[in-house]
Amino acid sequence: MGTEGENARVIAGRYRLEARIGRGGMGVVWRATDQLLGRQVAVKELALDDSLSADEARMQRDRTLREARAVAQLRHAHIIVVHDVVVDDERPYIVMELIVGGSLADRISRNGPVDAVEAARIGIDLLGALRSAHDAGVLHRDLKPANVLMEAGTDRVVLTDFGIAQVAGATTLTESGAFVGSPEYTAPERMSGARTGPESDLWSLGALLCTALSGASPFRRDSLGGILHAVVVDEIRPPDQAAPLLPVVRGLLERDPDLRLGATEAERLLRAFLDTGRTPRASSAYTPTQRDVARRKPAPAPPAPTAPTTDSAPAAPADRPPSKQSAHSARGVLVAAALVAAMAGAGVSAAALLMHKGGDGGGTPTSSAPHSAPASPRTTKTSPTPTTSASTAPTPTVTVTSSGVVAPASRKAPSGYRLAQDPAGFSLAVPEGFTREAQGERTFYLSEGEVFRLGIKATDPEPDGPTAVMRRADAKGPSTNPGYHDGRVTGTTHNGYPAALWEFSWGGFTKAEGARHTYDLCWEQDGRMYDVWVSAPVGKVTEAKEYFDVAVDTFVP
């Protein structure tokens, strides 16, 4: 319980909250003193939603803590440092480095837009931060000027408030009609809830650069409906001030995420501008999927929330892009769906927080090899199954998760997933196209070619609990998973039950495929121990993390 003393409150017996320095949709930010280490810190006190049930509130709190702990693993000069995550009087707090200086939004409001040189510098720093986060399977989801800090005296650019959609429990437009995020900076594919990935953060950066250069987002309108229409349908007109950086801005504001300019190429163009005073065209040979944007499955066409659409254009053949007419029709369906959902009762929540990392292995250090590969010793080992980095959320009622999932009580799967009622007695949402395979006491759902492996195991509980089980599995990692490295076990909770998250990388099944990463969550519930994990190649951790979160969030024993 926090204590009061001489105009200051002390939380977790350590952090003295001294002055409020900011407020947003997710809560209040305080300047505080870490009394143990004698240093100044910033503490984010997360707001509690009084409309949530006790289970929903616990689910949101557990997920917040899990995501914050994951972001705390990121290390980059332009990403906020998370020192600690604590709970005081059932309210979560995130302890971060204190950046003296305002946000980019404050700077623009106070001094006006920046010039192209300064915008390029800011863009390069943010691209470095995003690439580091994306490589770790972490998305930002709310990149905007208010979430970019400018350190006084050094002008260091610091990206903060990761994972708003993940922490708030929604992608963008939820099934209740609420919009979570900042619509002027939200990519069109996220507007529909059909897809989100590194590409979506890059769209947001394009809108941010326009704002930094001109003082306003190119998608600013008088209403939420107007903003949605501008993002999805209207002609995109970058401001005149963006002319020096136009190839970058236009490339980032490409509506098709598969054609959008990637982080590596965008940084190359911005550096060329700083070196030469002009921005070259993007490389014609460049495609975002070659280096820094994880390849993602095609997003399904978003259904209208209230009324079926009868005039959508037929899909283009898989081997060629859709025509302009069909693309325009698809955008019309998308914006109609977004608008209907928004008008169903949406308020706009501009909030902020933190997010996550990615894994491999196979659900225990004893992952089985793909069918196409010869059997190996690890297919028959029985060491404890690793714990996936699942969301530590309470028993769900009706909540929309980070990947657009409605929690199990509503028995719905997000777009692109199906609800699997497994013969073993549990249910969970798995990606469409994944096929089931039983391997002894483990059940797998496998993608084509077994690139992604989602595993589930249920056993009798161990006397010393999930964390001890996962630590033993971690200790055996080098013998059960050749090339094992970067193993990490974190004690946590899931649905209010004791849990442990195990995350690690290893050498993979074959040299051709290369290294893999695993997220694994293990927890005890109602006299059973459950283990859910997802394994994937290290280059696909963003997708793996999404599959993992959905699986854990929708799992019902």
Task: Supply the residues annotated as catalytic.
Answer: 142
Concatenating the DSSP letter of every residue in 475-504 gives HHHHHHSTT-EEEEEEEEEEBTEEEEEEEE
Task: State the amino acid at position 524 in one-letter form.
Answer: E
Dihedral of CA 296/538/532/74: which sign? negative
Concatenating the DSSP letter of every residue in 27-72 gives EEEEEEEETTTTEEEEEEEEPP-TTS-HHHHHHHHHHHHHHHHHHT
Q: Which residue has the tokens 């863009």?
A: 123
Gap between the terminal Cα atoms of the chain: 34
Residue 554's contacts (CB-CB under 8 Å, 6 or more residues apart) are 401, 405, 407, 408, 413, 419, 427, 428, 429
Distance, in Å, from the CA atom of 372 to the CA atom of 546, rounded to the nearest integer, reads 25
Distance, in Å, from the CA atom of 506 to the CA atom of 522, rounded to the nearest integer, reads 19
Element (H, E) at 290: none
Cα 498 to chain centroid distance, Å, stands at 24
Q: Are 77 and 20 in contact (CB under 8 A)?
A: no
Q: Are 159 and 145 in contact (CB under 8 A)?
A: no
Q: Are 51 and 349 in contact (CB under 8 A)?
A: no
Q: Of 398, 322, 355, which is closest to residue 161 (Cα–Cα)?
A: 355
Q: Are 70 and 354 in contact (CB under 8 A)?
A: yes
Q: Are 21 and 36 in contact (CB under 8 A)?
A: no
Q: Of 127, 399, 168, which is closest to residue 270 (Cα–Cα)?
A: 127
Greatest alpha-carbon span in the chain? 70
The backbone torsions φ and ψ at residue 468, rounded to the nearest 5 degrees and listed phi first, read -65, -40
Angle at 482 between CA 479 and CA 485, to 5 degrees: 95
CB atoms closer than 10 angstroms to residue 273: 22
**Alpha helix segments (H runs only) across 400-527:** 465-480
Taking phi over 0 as left and psi of -120 to 50 as alpha, with beta for the rest, 425 belongs to: left
The backbone torsions φ and ψ at residue 541, rounded to the nearest 5 degrees and listed phi first, read -70, -30
Beta-strand runs (E) in 291-396: 348-349
